[in-house]
Chains A and B, each alone.
Chain A
Amino acid sequence: MTTTIETPAGPAQPMVLNMGPQHPSTHGVLRVILELDGEIVLSAKPVIGYLHTGIEKSCESKTYSQCITLTDRIDYLAPLSNNLGFCLAAEKLLGLEVPKRAQYIRVLLTELTRITSHLVWLGTHAIDLGAMSVFLYTFREREEIMKIYEYVSGQRMMTSYFRIGGLALEPPPDWLDRVRRVVESLPGHVDEYEDLLTQNRIWLARTKGVGILSAADAIAMGVSGPLLRASGVAYDIRKSFPYSSYDEFDFNVQTQTAGDCYARYQVRVAEIRESLKIIRQAMDKIPSEGPFRAEAPGIIPPSREEMKTSIEGLIYHFKIFTEGFAPPPGEVYQAIESPRGELGIFMMSDGSAKPYRVKFRAPSFVNLQSLPMLCTGRLIADVVTCIGTTDIVLGEVDR
């Protein structure tokens, strides 16, 4: 019995390496099949579907309001963005106008979501590249924002706080003070992250010139969000197709032209600061009193008080929670700027109380498709950088 390993004779063959599905730097269950020549990547092929849970199919057997809880679970790092997209689509289908107060609160909370999502991205991406400490800082600040979600909606993560026509609950009276505290401390913390990374020579060496995506390629691949803006295309749905009163806010679309991993880092950090700017404006705009959901009998549940004191209120309450409501037949596509890019929701009604078809255009799904473009011809270590920089959430990729 021999123990020597036989190597086949002849010309050198490229080696095929499976990265994932269980691999710490793939942020979930992503498998990438790499064809290697030494350490150089000849081709990369992402394999997805390990987290497919059939959310679109499940939506077809639930009422519109019941679907909201499923949307939290698509992109679990930005549940409120998904809530918002779904509610806006349903409201478009119904032709429903949401009170301004609810719109501003929605803006404030989705911008907080953008910050938490970018903080998770920054922390995990830095860990991927060997900078452990940033993760501890970003999660410290993220936790403070999670506490705000919990205070307002009762849940840290699966908030389901936005409902069709407005919000689930009246927010607690002093919630804006808590937001103010976070907003005041965060710019200093972002400076701290930048101190650790922006001029860090290792960080620069690992990200500058790595994973370059040109503007033309990015558009052809349907890439959106910070990835697209880092390639020099100023496409932000909050500006191009404003929703939920974003047109009343003053903010800038952050772009870079290099299109590499470092440019994406710069765009995301700048977006955290822009989001803070929007939040400050929203805090001034939100009236302390006023309706937090639309007035639409038969669609929006009556208040607790009304339900218990009037017979119409009781009937509507019963009907809404047993049968749901039926939007007119038709189809809409509503896109919002989620932290990862264009989150599109295609919703079709056949005139019944359940959506006939719901499709989630997940930004991670589309952005991940460009991964082979980013890492072909580069080192294996750069694949980790490139996966990190696309900021995918596998729950959203697979749905």
Chain B
Amino acid sequence: MEPQGHDKDPVVSKLREWDAQAVAEVIEFRGETTVVVPREHFRRAAEYLRSEPSLAFTFLSDITVVDRFPLEPRFEVNYELLSLDLGKRLRVKVRVPGNDAVMPSIVAVWPTANWHERESFDLMGIRFEGHPDLSRILMPDEWEGHPLRKDYPVEGYR
């Protein structure tokens, strides 16, 4: 664990101050900050980032899942957060193992996550626990498999 006060981004120091365990790793690349949060702390961290008045990450832009097959932990779930007050972006990354592709749903924190989570479930097969209606959104309901996974052929199964 890095010592406190060495973070380039004040948002990260703030998060570390709140709960040091919530920050597993910080990645700086091309001027963007990514905070890796362990899955068990993610739901709490999401609520903190949204409701803490000095941060106010009220706008969830996007959820992107990356499949790193055959590496483990297989999935990376990226949350693109935006604070309109601070004029800042932050990416929160959660690593999810392939044999237990489950995430806590954050629809209650950011209602916009509803369709993003459905899309991630549909195309990547991540199950979001606590989602009000976790069904396919882009593929037909009876579709088998999750097309954006790396072990799914580009031209589909024939």
Q: Contacting A333 at CB < 8 Å: which of B32, B112, B148?
A: B32
- A54-B154 Cα distance, complex, nearest whole Å: 9
- A82-B116 Cα distance, complex, nearest whole Å: 20
Are B139 and A333 in contact, CB atoms less than 8 angstroms apart? Answer: no
- In the bound complex, residues from chain A placing their C-beta under 8 Å from that of B91 are 333
Which listed segment binds B: A105-113, A117-125, A291-299, A356-364?
A356-364
Assuming the contacts A332-B29, A332-B30, asked whether A344 and B138 have C-beta atoms less than 8 A apart, the reply is no
Name 15 interchain pairs, CB-CB below 8 A, sorted by A.
A48-B137, A49-B138, A57-B147, A57-B148, A57-B154, A61-B154, A220-B110, A235-B84, A333-B89, A335-B61, A346-B62, A348-B66, A357-B66, A366-B115, A366-B116
Interface range for B:
20 to 34
Assuming the contacts A49-B138, A220-B112, A356-B66, asked whether A361 and B84 have C-beta atoms less than 8 A apart, the reply is no
Are A220 and B111 in contact, CB atoms less than 8 angstroms apart? Answer: yes
Are A221 and B112 in contact, CB atoms less than 8 angstroms apart? Answer: yes
- A311-B74 Cα distance, complex, nearest whole Å: 44
- In the bound complex, residues from chain B placing their C-beta under 8 Å from that of A241 are 87, 89
For the complex with contacts A48-B137, A333-B62, A369-B112, 12 further pairs of A-B residues with Cβ separation under 8 Å are: A48-B138, A54-B147, A57-B154, A221-B112, A233-B84, A331-B78, A332-B32, A333-B61, A344-B62, A346-B78, A348-B66, A361-B61
- In the bound complex, residues from chain B placing their C-beta under 8 Å from that of A95 are 30
Are A366 and B112 in contact, CB atoms less than 8 angstroms apart? Answer: yes
- A19-B139 Cα distance, complex, nearest whole Å: 20
Are B154 and A60 in contact, CB atoms less than 8 angstroms apart? Answer: yes
* Chain A CB within 8 A of B64 CB: yes
- A68-B154 Cα distance, complex, nearest whole Å: 18
Q: 1/0 per position for B104-115, CB-CB distance to A under 8 A?
A: 000000111011
- Residues of B whose CB lies within 8 Å of any CB of A are 29-30, 32, 34, 58-62, 64, 66-67, 78, 80, 84, 87, 89, 91, 110-112, 114-116, 123, 136-140, 147-148, 154
Are A93 and B30 in contact, CB atoms less than 8 angstroms apart? Answer: yes
Assuming the contacts A49-B140, A331-B29, asked whether A222 and B60 have C-beta atoms less than 8 A apart, the reply is yes
- In the bound complex, residues from chain A placing their C-beta under 8 Å from that of B140 are 49
- A222-B112 Cα distance, complex, nearest whole Å: 5
- A219-B154 Cα distance, complex, nearest whole Å: 36
- A47-B124 Cα distance, complex, nearest whole Å: 19
- In the bound complex, residues from chain B placing their C-beta under 8 Å from that of A348 are 66
A349 to chain B, nearest CB (A): 10
- A331-B65 Cα distance, complex, nearest whole Å: 12
In chain A, positions 229-245 with a C-beta closer than 8 Å to chain B are 233, 235, 240-241
Q: Which residue of B lies closest to A331 (CB)?
A: B29
B68 to chain A, nearest CB (A): 9
* Chain B CB within 8 A of A330 CB: yes
- In the bound complex, residues from chain A placing their C-beta under 8 Å from that of B110 are 220, 222
- A309-B58 Cα distance, complex, nearest whole Å: 56
- In the bound complex, residues from chain B placing their C-beta under 8 Å from that of A361 are 61-62, 64, 80
Are B80 and A369 in contact, CB atoms less than 8 angstroms apart? Answer: no
* Chain B CB within 8 A of A76 CB: no
- A241-B138 Cα distance, complex, nearest whole Å: 30
- A361-B116 Cα distance, complex, nearest whole Å: 9
- In the bound complex, residues from chain B placing their C-beta under 8 Å from that of A359 are 62, 64
A49 to chain B, nearest CB (A): 4
- A357-B63 Cα distance, complex, nearest whole Å: 13
- In the bound complex, residues from chain B placing their C-beta under 8 Å from that of A58 are 154
* Chain B CB within 8 A of A337 CB: no
B56 to chain A, nearest CB (A): 10
- A220-B110 Cα distance, complex, nearest whole Å: 6
Interface centre among A48, A54, A56 (most CB of B within 10 A): A54
A373 to chain B, nearest CB (A): 9
- In the bound complex, residues from chain B placing their C-beta under 8 Å from that of A219 are 58-59, 84
